[in-house]
Amino acid sequence: MAYITSQQGNVPWNLLELHGERTVFGRHPSSQIVLDNEAVSRHHAQILESHGHFFLEDLKSRNGTLVNGRPVDQPTELRDKDSITLCDFEFHFHEQEPDSPPATTFHRPEPAESDTDSDTDNSRYFAVGVEPIDDASTSSSIVSKLSMVSIGREQVVADPEAKLQAVLEISKSLGQVLELDEVLTRVLDGLFEIFPQADEGFVLLNEPSSTTPVIRATRSRSESGDRTPSISLTIVREAMQSGEAILSADVMGDNRFLGSQSIAGMQLRSMICAPLMGQDGQSLGVIQLSSRDVRLPFEESDLDVLIGVATQGALAIENAALHAKVLRQRDLDRELEFATQVQLGFLPNKRPEAAGLDFCDYYEAANRVGGDYFDYVELPGGRVAVAIADVAGKGIPAALLMARLYSATRYHLLSQPDLGLALSDLNRDISTSGLGHRFITCVLAVVDPAAGHVAVANAGHLPPLIRHADGSITEFISQHPGMPLGIVPDQEFRQQEHPLTPGDTWLMFTDGITEAMNADSEIFGTQRLKQSLSGAPAELDAMILSIVSDVEAHCGERDQSDDMCLTAFRCMDSTA
């Protein structure tokens, strides 16, 4: 068995017993012997054991490592009583335990049986209580001396100052990341630096799609990094439901968990578990660290540290979730903006120019995109088709079906001379399109100035209104009503003709007009629409805007819940 001693100034010299194949000196908390001095590199040097021989290797440190005053530029075998110098720290190597009793002895624990296959011993020894010394002969830029402290539970771990510094480093690190996976990784990495006795750790988070918390991050000291952590939902639920952190120095003998079959099979010895509490007081999940070595239990001060890290971690997790939500919303807004532009591209960008006829329209979606549709299609012989439809539902699904309706309606109007046949073909097209169980109400009107009539075919849509020159209103009720498109594939529709009288104004609209509600949930209704149409100005654009104004006045402050669409045409002279 080999030993390292240290004796500087009037500080009692100390003895460290070496175990394992590797002992690292450095400033980083993950080192086995932590030297709290800025002149020391994060991982400065290491002692390697091979078949009973010990070698000192410098790990490309900033200020170098000396053996008996000579620089170490390659692995150098250590001999009995060799001196080892790292900046202002001096140690002596001993092949046997020195005869003189040390003031303070460190007995480094043997690895647990479950870890005998691992080449890494994660015990740590911290050099603390550093004080300045005056030594003009040293070339180091930092002057200090070593004072080692032993913890009385047969392990040497970070002192409170080192733990606090590590917690602050974790907090600083978490403030620099917004991705959830990176947040959780940094939390576990930081905890494993603080707690050398931790064999494994994990973070569980609540997920909307799961009834139980889901593993989002794991960390293990075993060589097989893909090892599944030992998780007991008994412990997890206790922490999440109570909102309190749990410490168990001996899980197997803990009365709180004697009834848990999962714990019995895990061979856990000591664990600490802290809930991740959101700002609303609800549990987001848990962080848990566990040790399988009964000689290295967690204690009360460790739980306090974990609670502090969990508090910072919960805040970082919520920030990451908000960041992800903002990114998703930004992407959705971009997609909706593009969809809005695409949908507006399907709607007419100009009105038909036909002798003796005037046209007007209005469209407003309840959401960024909607399912209401209207179109003008110029047909041979000077005829003009006016189409208006309402796809069941609203938003993106309805808008996608509206896009399909746009192209199909134009095709069938242009390919069929009879309006009833065109609507029948359109129904079969929509019914067999595989677009889901959505129906569409639709009304088609073909205005024929030469023949002096209007042909109408209706598929379950609200009947058009006709305002005559004297201001009276007639509701055009079809003698051949049909069901909405997309319900019965083989349904046949028939057209009905009506005289095109000079001065008559035809108004076609969707139910977003008649079903608009006020604060008392009272709909605008067909009767109010008739009154609004009758009292509206004679000029067609002003007439449409007046109707929309009446609807908005009825709704008041209540938000629009459905798409609104109106289209109108008028016969202007007696030559029609």
The mean pLDDT value for 416-427 works out to: 94
What pLDDT is stored for residue 138 in this prediction?
A: 31
Residue type, 552: E
CATH architecture of structural domain 2-94: Sandwich (2.60)
What pLDDT is stored for residue 103 in this prediction?
A: 46
- Given a cut of 90, is residue 541 above it in pLDDT? yes
The mean pLDDT value for 55-74 works out to: 91
What pLDDT is stored for residue 211 in this prediction?
A: 81
Do the beta carbons of residue 25 and residue 33 sit within 8 Å?
yes
Q: How far is residue 224's CA from residue 541's CA, in Å, rounded to a whole number?
A: 75
Query: What does DSSP say about strands 384-391 and 22-26: parallel, antiparallel, or unpaired?
Result: unpaired
State the pLDDT confidence band at 128, using cuts at 50, 70 and 90. very low
Tell me the average pLDDT of the chain. Answer: 80
Q: How far is residue 14's CA from residue 101's CA, in Å, rounded to a whole number?
A: 9
The mean pLDDT value for 364-375 works out to: 79
Fold of the CATH domain 144-149+159-222+230-251+268-323: Beta-Lactamase (3.30.450)
Determine if residue 97 is left, alpha or beta; phi over 0 gives left, psi from -120 to 50 gives alpha, anything else beta: beta
Do the beta carbons of residue 503 and residue 492 sit within 8 Å?
no
What pLDDT is stored for residue 254 in this prediction?
A: 54
Residue type, 194: I
What pLDDT is stored for residue 434 in this prediction?
A: 65
Sign of CA dihedral 57, 157, 205, 223: positive
pLDDT in tens, 76-89: 999 999 999 998 88
State the pLDDT confidence band at 437, using cuts at 50, 70 and 90. low
What pLDDT is stored for residue 540 in this prediction?
A: 94
- Given a cut of 50, is residue 356 above it in pLDDT? yes
The mean pLDDT value for 148-162 works out to: 41
- Given a cut of 60, is residue 125 above it in pLDDT? no
pLDDT in tens, 318-339: 998 898 899 888 888 787 777 7
- Given a cut of 70, is residue 187 above it in pLDDT? yes
pLDDT in tens, 270-325: 889 999 998 888 899 999 998 877 677 888 888 888 988 998 889 989 998 898 89
DSSP annotation of 73 reads: -
Q: How far is residue 2's CA from residue 48's CA, in Å, rounded to a whole number?
A: 11
Do the beta carbons of residue 244 and residue 275 sit within 8 Å?
yes
Spell out the domain ranges in the chain.
2-94, 144-149+159-222+230-251+268-323, 347-571
Name the more confident of 225 and 327: 327
| Window from 8-12, 30-34, 516-520 with minimum mean pLDDT | 8-12
| Three-state helix/strand/coil letters over 515-537 | CCECCCCCECHHHHHHHHHHHCC
Do the beta carbons of residue 240 and residue 286 sit within 8 Å?
yes
DSSP helix/strand/coil, 342: helix
What pLDDT is stored for residue 108 in this prediction?
A: 44
| Window from 101-110, 269-278, 425-434 with minimum mean pLDDT | 101-110
- What one-character-per-residue DSSP string does 452-495 give? TEEEEEEEBPPPPEEE-TTS-EEE---SS-BPPBTS-TT-----
State the pLDDT confidence band at 135, using cuts at 50, 70 and 90. very low
Measure CA 432 to chain center.
38
> Is the CATH number 3.30.1370.60 carried by domain 347-571?
no
Name the residue among 330, 328, 288, 305 with its Cα closest to residue 180: 328
State the pLDDT confidence band at 347, using cuts at 50, 70 and 90. confident
Residue type, 159: D
Query: What does DSSP say about strands 125-131 and 33-35: parallel, antiparallel, or unpaired?
Result: parallel
The mean pLDDT value for 389-405 works out to: 78
What pLDDT is stored for residue 346 in this prediction?
A: 79
State the pLDDT confidence band at 198, using cuts at 50, 70 and 90. confident
| Three-state helix/strand/coil letters over 134-179 | CCCCCCCCCCCEEEECCECCCECCCCHHHHHHHHHHHHHHHCCCCC
Each as own residue / partner, the long-range contacts of residues 227-232 (CB below 8 Å, 24 or more positions apart, any chain) are: 227/200, 229/200, 229/201, 229/202, 229/290, 230/200, 230/266, 230/267, 230/268, 230/290, 231/202, 231/204, 231/262, 231/288, 232/257, 232/260, 232/262, 232/263, 232/266, 232/268
Q: For residues 83-108, b (16+ Cβ closer than 10 Å) or e, as one string?
A: ebbbbbbbbbbbeeeeeeebeeebeb
- Given a cut of 70, is residue 178 above it in pLDDT? yes
| Three-state helix/strand/coil letters over 374-385 | EEEEECHHHCEE
| Three-state helix/strand/coil letters over 389-441 | EEECCCCHHHHHHHHHHHHHHHHHHHHCCCHHHHHHHHHHHHHCCCCCCCCEE
| Window from 118-122, 149-153, 201-205 with minimum mean pLDDT | 149-153
DSSP helix/strand/coil, 550: helix
| Window from 238-252, 465-479, 544-558 with minimum mean pLDDT | 238-252
The mean pLDDT value for 419-425 works out to: 95
What pLDDT is stored for residue 118 in this prediction?
A: 36
State the pLDDT confidence band at 253, using cuts at 50, 70 and 90. low
Name the more confident of 305 and 230: 305
- Given a cut of 80, is residue 342 above it in pLDDT? no
What pLDDT is stored for residue 114 in this prediction?
A: 36
State the pLDDT confidence band at 395, using cuts at 50, 70 and 90. low
